[in-house]
Chains A and B, each alone.
Chain A
Amino acid sequence: MTSAVEADDVRLVAAVLQKDRKATAEFVARYTDAVYAYVHTRLAPQHDLVDDLVQEILLAAWENLGQYRGASALRAWVMGIARHKVEDHYRARLRAPEPIGDADNDPDTPVTFPKFDQLLDQEHLRKNTWRVLRGLPEQYRLALIWRYWEKASAREMAAKAGKTEKAIERLLARARAEFRERWNHG
């Protein structure tokens, strides 16, 4: 059974496909904020790229609207396109040569976090996490966001970035080590 929201989504899509400019404005008004918020956080702190990517996502969504069948909410469908586009961005960036790093770290080596008790304060945690992420080299930052917020496995990342799984694991290990270092001494 189609929900009222999905029926409204189907109506909006039909109107946009008939080139109703008012419906097109409604489409932009409904989904740009959500796409912008998503891209803004995933690309932080590279905000100069956000506007172009958001526009690319909305254009791609419009180009593919004919394939929308109302099986899910239009918002979820548009956000799916946003996720793919952000992954494309990660993939392109991770394909570039890696930053020069130290010798490989063993990802299984236990480490200590003397300031771990600070994690109890959520607001401090959020601010400190973003402070550290912003300061990391781009590839480290993107790898960590892709792995831990997007929940992509090292295998998926490797397949999409055109690298070996081992190379991604090494990149993640270096990124984590750098994160840890800056977290403790930043």
Chain B
Amino acid sequence: MANLRDEEFMRLIADGAGPAESEPAPSHLKAKIYSALVRRQAESGPLMSLTKIKACGEELCVFEELVRIAPLGERAKSLNICRVCHARVLAEHMENAPIYWSGCPYVELKKA
């Protein structure tokens, strides 16, 4: 072992140590990424309507459900309503944001 070259030494270190363990991503980061993706999707045209999402068997949050059953056109049901929701603001700025209702994507990301 005494005359190992630098190169061999570094290979042994790399094989033995490996990258450090890492914690899961913070939930506020997941929330920001989700918001950014949906914002980008909405910029290029309407999102899938809440009516269609529900028909696919997905769970809607209480606010999405209210919009879905409201007497509005499909265009309105395709808007990014999370943009004006307080849950989004809380989730993007806090770890363990106090949001608990089911069907909310930000609540689901907090659990993930």
A interface with B by C-beta (< 8 Å): 15, 18-22, 24-25, 27-30, 32-33, 35-37, 40-42, 44, 51, 54-55, 58-59, 62, 107-113, 116-117, 119, 122, 125-126, 129-130, 144, 147-149, 173, 176-177, 179-180
Contacts and interface: CB of A to CB of B under 8 A. Distances in A.
Contacts of B69: none
B25, B59, B80: most-surrounded residue (chain A CB, <10 A): B25
Given A25-B105, A29-B112, A149-B19, A18 B48 contact: yes
B108 interface: yes
B36 A59 contact: yes
Given A55-B32, A180-B9, A40 B48 contact: no
Interface of B: 1-7, 9-14, 16-20, 22-26, 29-30, 32-34, 36-38, 40-42, 45-48, 53, 56, 58-59, 80, 82, 105, 108-109, 112
B25 A19 contact: no
A42 B20 CA distance: 9
B1 A116 contact: yes
Contacts of A35: 25
A133 B59 CA distance: 47
Decide if the interface of chain A is mainly helix, strand, loop or mixed. Answer: helix
A28 B10 contact: no
A177 B6 contact: yes
A111 B33 contact: no
A41 B66 CA distance: 43
Contacts of A109: 5-6
Given A21-B38, A28-B33, A32-B25, A125 B17 contact: yes
A13 B80 CA distance: 20
Contact of B10 (A25, A51, A179): A179
A91 B101 CA distance: 44
Contacts of A58: 33, 37
A37 B76 CA distance: 38
